[in-house]
A and B are shown apart, each in its own frame.
Chain A
Amino acid sequence: MTDQAAEDARPADAVGRALLQTTRALAVVGGLICGLLALMVTVSVSGRYLFSAPIRGDYDLLAIFTGVAIFTFLPYCQMVRGNVIVDFFTSNMAPSKKAVLDAFGTLLYLIIAIVFTWRLYHGMLQLRDSGEVIASYDFYRWWTVPFNLLCMIVLILAILYTLVRDIAVARQRIRLAEGGPEKG
């Protein structure tokens, strides 16, 4: 994501600003988790080679907290419309027509996010009932899922917000600078 693209996607209204700040804060938390994981891996690798003493269960911790971090990234990605689209066939369309298509795509994402959140809730109950712990710690697997669910709820709000914006643009109530940057 370039600064310019992030700038273009910056919402002007209060709801949008609040959502952007919330999703940004979540993403920073996730980024910090990744940073701490990198640190943990480094300490563990050094410990293994210098003292034959790696951090206990380092890969389990890595997996579970990477998972926590990834969930925090999704809402921000949606708020700044960082998800990858193909603009080849539609590049010459009027912005309002593009917005109709974008609204359709966002609506699909909304349905998917709601279904996945609902299923994740049941997945959490399943994990809790099975009492699964990560190896080498008495850390129940389901403990991190409530936070994942929180991220999913923020994601749903972010998608709803972008959907409302798409519809507004499609109805030509507001004009937006070109959003939806592509990634390579």
Chain B
Amino acid sequence: MSDLAIGAIGFGVLIVLIAIRVPIGVSMLAVGTVGYMSIAGTSSLLSYLKTEMYWRFTTSDLSVIPLFLMMGHFAARAGITTALFRAAAAWIGHFRGGLAMAAVGGCAAFGTVSGSSLATAAMMGQVALPELRRYKYSGALATGALAAGGTLGILIPPSIVLIIYAILVEGNIVHLFQAGFLPGVLATMGYIAAIAIVSRINPQAGPARPRADRAERWASLRDVWSVLLIFLVVMGGIYSGIFTPTEGAGVGAVATFLVAVIYGGMRLKGLLDALIETASTSGLIFLILLGADVFNAFLGFSRLPMWTAEQFQHAGLSPFVVLLGMIALYLVLGCLMDSLSMILITIPIFWPIIAALDFGLSPDELKIWFGIITLSVVEIGLITPPVGLNVFVINSLAKDVPMAETFRGVVPFLMSDAVRVSLIVAFPVVSLILPRLINA
């Protein structure tokens, strides 16, 4: 049997294993080791495995992941979601749908210190849902806005998904973070526009609340300075190149820890919980990373990625048709699995294909642009049925709202996502302008 065939069979077996509830990391490890052995031989595999695990876990480019996760878990205990939502509500709550807009704005602001969608949705949901319901917002709009707003946690850098992407394609994390900023702002504005349209069509869905007076407005800003400061120091430092993402994550973890202790009332139990959460989120990510590493070593031996890329290159398809095909596949996969696993399984095949096609961009810019497209598309899976995780998280907080209503509430935001992804695909400059300006 040819190595290519072994590669293809391996890919098929991987999909079957994942479909029958074998943990994704374990599936990749199992197929990766057996495939590696059948192509390169047993002794080669055994020698590879001696240090593979040690080196995969012991690299400074991956140490950024637990640090960013820790920063997010401390930020969740810093009481800043409450402050962010109150401040946004004081400024825009009196518009039609204003409180839902405030929730989205709060998610965006929280997204600048958190790299996780679920955490952002859950944290903001706990604060904003009771308020939204108190002002008689419809269940669909309230839960839909929060589920969609949660995706801003990962769309707006820092973003764990972008870090993993950067590692897979050997791209520059800093440039990817810079590139992700404008599309993140665009997503926020798109969601706010969606809320405005929904509450114009159906004023009952998002009634305006009384206007906050000037004193209240300024007072509300007093409590958000910590987020602003952390954002300016951590992301400002990373964007401007004063420090590396790893250093930014370390500084951010310490800063959010201090805010959580001083303002968030975090005590020993909160600290232990944050450490345990850091451990379980990092643990599950690194098991998948280890699996992806072994699986990709096997795929590399099989030459399947190169072969596929060559086929696409010679097929004479328009590059944009290929890109649209991948986007469609991501939308389907997004209904089945989480964004991280999706990226780890597909990028080793997809990136060589994209790199071999001519989009009129330099290789570095192509890497950035494709990364932002991928990030935007895989996050849509978080709010689409049947397994939109954000939808489940928010719906579990809103006991009186049926799941179907939440999924219906998400539809306007999906439309907004479609517009945004089209813009990002049609105009690469949206993603590329910030890295171009900053690194010129």
The judgment on whether A and B are partners is: yes
Binding-face segment, B134-142, B177-185, B331-339, B369-377 = B331-339
Query: When the two chains form the complex, which single residue of B54, B253, B282, B338 contacts A120, counting CB atoms closer than 8 Å?
Result: B54
Whole-angstrom distance between the alpha carbons of A90 and B272 in the complex? 34
Whole-angstrom distance between the alpha carbons of A27 and B70 in the complex? 13
Per-position binary interface string of chain A over residues 139-159, scored 1 when its CB falls under 8 Å from any chain B CB and 0 otherwise: 000000100100000000000
Is B23 an interface residue when CB atoms closer than 8 A count as contact? Answer: yes
Query: When the two chains form the complex, which single residue of A37, A82, A85, A119 contacts B63, counting CB atoms closer than 8 Å?
Result: A37
Residue contact A41 to B247, C-beta cutoff 8 Å? yes
A70 with B283, Cβ < 8 A, contacts A31-B276, A42-B251 known:
yes
Query: When the two chains form the complex, which single residue of B20, B26, B276 contacts A101, counting CB atoms closer than 8 Å?
Result: B20
Per-position binary interface string of chain B over residues 249-277, scored 1 when its CB falls under 8 Å from any chain A CB and 0 otherwise: 11101100100000000000000101111
Residue contact B19 to A86, C-beta cutoff 8 Å? yes
Per-position binary interface string of chain B over residues 2-36, scored 1 when its CB falls under 8 Å from any chain A CB and 0 otherwise: 00000000000000011111111111011001000
Whole-angstrom distance between the alpha carbons of A105 and B327 in the complex? 30
Residue contact A84 to B341, C-beta cutoff 8 Å? yes
A41 with B66, Cβ < 8 A, contacts A83-B23, A116-B53 known:
no
Residue contact A84 to B338, C-beta cutoff 8 Å? yes
Residue contact B58 to A184, C-beta cutoff 8 Å? no
B contact face: mostly helix, strand, loop, or mixed = helix
Is A38 an interface residue when CB atoms closer than 8 A count as contact? Answer: yes
Query: When the two chains form the complex, which single residue of B57, B246, B275 contacts A35, counting CB atoms closer than 8 Å?
Result: B275
A31 with B23, Cβ < 8 A, contacts A41-B247, A184-B338, A184-B390 known:
no
Which chain B residues lie closer than 8 Å to A80 at the CB level?
280
Per-position binary interface string of chain B over residues 235-256, scored 1 when its CB falls under 8 Å from any chain A CB and 0 otherwise: 0000000110011011101100
Whole-angstrom distance between the alpha carbons of A37 and B21 in the complex? 35
Residue contact B118 to A184, C-beta cutoff 8 Å? yes
| Total A-B residue contacts, Cβ distance less than 8 Å | 222
Whole-angstrom distance between the alpha carbons of A35 and B53 in the complex? 22
Is B59 an interface residue when CB atoms closer than 8 A count as contact? Answer: yes
Is B419 an interface residue when CB atoms closer than 8 A count as contact? Answer: no
Binding-face segment, A10-18, A57-65, A170-178 = A57-65
Query: When the two chains form the complex, which single residue of B66, B257, B337, B390 contacts A70, counting CB atoms closer than 8 Å?
Result: B66
Binding-face segment, B85-93, B168-176, B284-292, B313-321 = B284-292
Query: When the two chains form the complex, which single residue of B23, B46, B249, B279 contacts A85, counting CB atoms closer than 8 Å?
Result: B23
| Contact residues, B329-385 vs A (CB, 8 A) | 335-341, 382
Residue contact B66 to A66, C-beta cutoff 8 Å? yes
Residue contact A86 to B21, C-beta cutoff 8 Å? yes
User: What would 19 A/B residue contacts be, using CB atoms closer than 8 Å?
Assistant: A27-B275, A35-B70, A38-B253, A40-B250, A42-B254, A69-B282, A70-B283, A77-B280, A77-B287, A82-B284, A83-B287, A84-B23, A98-B21, A105-B26, A115-B49, A116-B53, A119-B50, A127-B51, A182-B389
List the 5 closest pairs (A to B, CB-CB), nearest first: A31-B275, A41-B250, A67-B58, A73-B283, A27-B279
**A-to-B contact residues, CB < 8 Å:** 1, 24, 27-28, 30-32, 34-35, 37-42, 44-45, 49, 59-60, 62-64, 66-67, 69-74, 76-77, 80, 82-91, 98, 101-102, 104-105, 108-109, 111-112, 115-116, 119-120, 122-123, 126-127, 145, 148, 180, 182-184
